[in-house]
Structure 1
Amino acid sequence: MTERTDSNRAVAETLATSNAFAGLSDGKKGFIFALCAYLLWGILPFYLKSVAHIPALEVVAHRIVWSVPIAAALLWWLGLLGDLKVAFTTPRMLAMAILTASLITINWGTYVWAIANDHTVDTALGYYINPLVNVVLGRLFLSERLTKAQMIAVALAACAVILLTVWSGGLPWISLILAFSFGLYGFFRKTLPIGAIQGFTLEVLILSIPSLGFIAWTMTQNTSHFTNGQPNDVSLLLFAGLATAVPLIFYALGAKLLRYTTIGLMQYIAPTIVFFIAIFVFGEPFSHVQLIAFVLIWSALAIYTWSMVYEAQKVKSAIAHNR
């Protein structure tokens, strides 16, 4: 775990020492990296709408395949390609990477399909719920105690889900799949003893094998949008690599230079942008019941955020007092 942390910080510091960041503190550098990541994730629906005519599986396959050269080039530049050799020769690490790669594929596939099929509001809800799912996962798998504030926040989120279930006649599956797949991905990703960028590269390398097979199959069936689609489809699918890899790399760098509380507060930027895009740009319907559900979620997040900041201040005060 220590080696992974040192590796992550080394990567962040290597990239952050460029002239563009001269004179900035680690906190400011981390804030810029994380802000770029969340802004890019926030506007990602615009790109996904542009490829809505392409099947979600094909889009995901190209997201994976074209992320490989970007991530590999970055690792080569940083001199960290050797970490991948260690990963591929360590069965436990490889098995865990296969698990996390599978979870992020489910997340990406659901997200791409949802945006293409006018469920952008549901995706925003899913990523709003995600921090509260992380709290529940910590309680279930790590026996972490929930504070009163966290219990209230989780209860409010559960009420929102129940309200949407009763109103729509079924569970908000898109939101729940996104929240739990990303929550589980983050949970298991923490146990992967490898740096953030190395881990991402390992995951897309593993996923590139079935992805290349799927792309080859679409070509044999003459259904490939990469070879048989519109002229701009090739450019759009090639861009999938940048749209996938760049924000993830920015996030990984920012997370290593920022305090946990700060990155926790910033995580609401992307779903908020997505929410406003869904309502005011894509013009998706938004009922009074959905508004009530979102108010419940926003209230839950406000309580959760307050508790997170409060606990961080307590720890900070305790450390200062012990000095």
Structure 2
Amino acid sequence: MSRNVRFHATGDADVLHLDHVDVPAPGKDEVRIRARALGLNRAEVMFRTGEYVVDPAFPSSIGYEASGIVDSVGPGVEHVSVGDAVSVVPAFAMTDYGVHGELVLAPASAVVKHPASLSWEEAAAVWMQYITAYGGLIDIAQLQAGDTVLLPAASSSVGLASIQVARMVGATPIALSRTSGKRDQLLEAGASEVIATQEEDIVARVRELTDGHGARVVFDPVGGPGVAQLAAATAPHGIIVNYGALDPRDMALPVMDVLGKHLTLRGYELFEVTQDDERRGAAVEFVLDGLSRGLLHPVIDRTFVLDEIADAHRYLEAGSQVGKIVVTIPE
């Protein structure tokens, strides 16, 4: 029997339980993994509370990211073998697979052999953040050397990954954070500049930092009325890529900025990359290259053990982290 994270009703973190389940042998194009670490994401919180893009079916498994050892493979699986160290790319619906548990199934297309230099914790912290950043910045916005990119909520795992991805291609990342409390940490993480949005004039600071041009790319997980200031700080012919709704209110987008500067607003979600074989392959190649060259390195804020899964969710919801939250599973 395996202890896997499940919930039987939507609600706060207390609805999470470690249920004892029989995990079947992998079917065609499936891999069974003995997990060693689990990566947490805000998507799992939204799924647990019933606010995600799909509704859970109870009892519901949960979890997009895990690292561990291949326990067995199903028919048709050739790229990984029993005993391989692997991690899981979020390329599936949690209504089909949930990889937070001791022994889990995953579709073979989502399972990747990661660099041996990564710890289990680091490997569990790779794919959601880096492919989210790659998809928005590289695949869609075509970020390149010389560009300036604004990164709201920069202390999140995706925000920190975006700083590294921008640096990797020679762009200039400007981190946005509500207060100056995380300024030193964000600068140490590679941000060229940090703007405290509740303490400074975003538009004036961006113009100052870009010689009046504005930022060509904005990569925004917040949305809401604050998009108006982001649009004002965007350069002519710039693009705002929105990938979240931390502020659930409707966006306020000044029409004269959109028309006068010929701006593009693009909604984006990870799965348009990870569920497309060609785009997912390019993303994985980009990330593995960055990891192998030391240009990408997961930042882990805090680890919990599996028995503390509810505490880990509560910590994630508090929003004070700088980097990824990881849950470990002892051997």
Q: TM-score range by the shorter chain?
A: under 0.3
Higher RCO (CA < 8 A, seq sep 6+): 1
- Report which of the two has the higher share of strand: 2
TM-score (ref. length: structure 2): 0.24
- Report which of the two has the higher share of helix: 1
